[in-house]
Amino acid sequence: MRKTLLTTLFIATILTGCASSPQNAVGLANTWTVSSIDGYTQPVDALTIKPQLQINKNLNVSYSGCNTLTGKMRITTQDLTTKNLISTQKMCPQNEQATVDGFVKQMLTGPSKFLVNSNTLILSSDNHTVTFKRVEKK
């Protein structure tokens, strides 16, 4: 009896986790701009044009920095990765833009944890965190 109860609870937990996966993606489909890296607004503040991350409802992703990154997000319960991430190959100066682009690419390549909270998207790995703010539609 106890074994049956534990097995049932285990299966219910797994199914609940799987069922909640799409729910975690609610709010991802937006346009985001990088606001900080590891809690610091530098080098982001030094950029004259803030790069944008666009995620549509089908989880297609496009990032516009010095190089453009595009791909398709894959989401599990709390992790995301971007499969088939394609990048343009411009010769970008090694400046603040290159730093920001490198961190964003690392987070999109994943796996990264993600959290969508109101107007904020946070992507984090074991080593870094990139925070985005939702771009207000005009």
Q: What is the pLDDT of residues 28-54, one digit of tens each?
A: 899 999 999 999 998 889 888 889 999
- Per DSSP, the three-state class of 97 is helix
**Distances in whole angstroms, Cα of residue 46 to Cα of each of 60, 76, 81, 96:** 28, 34, 28, 7
CATH 3.20.20.105 fits 2-134, yes or no: no
Q: What residue spans define the domains of the chain? A: 2-134
Pure H helices in the chain? 2-24, 96-109
Give the mean pLDDT of the chain. Answer: 81
pTM of the model: 0.76
Copy the structure tokens of residue 8.
């049932």
Q: What pLDDT is recorded for position 24?
A: 59
Grade residue 90 by pLDDT with cuts at 50, 70 and 90: confident
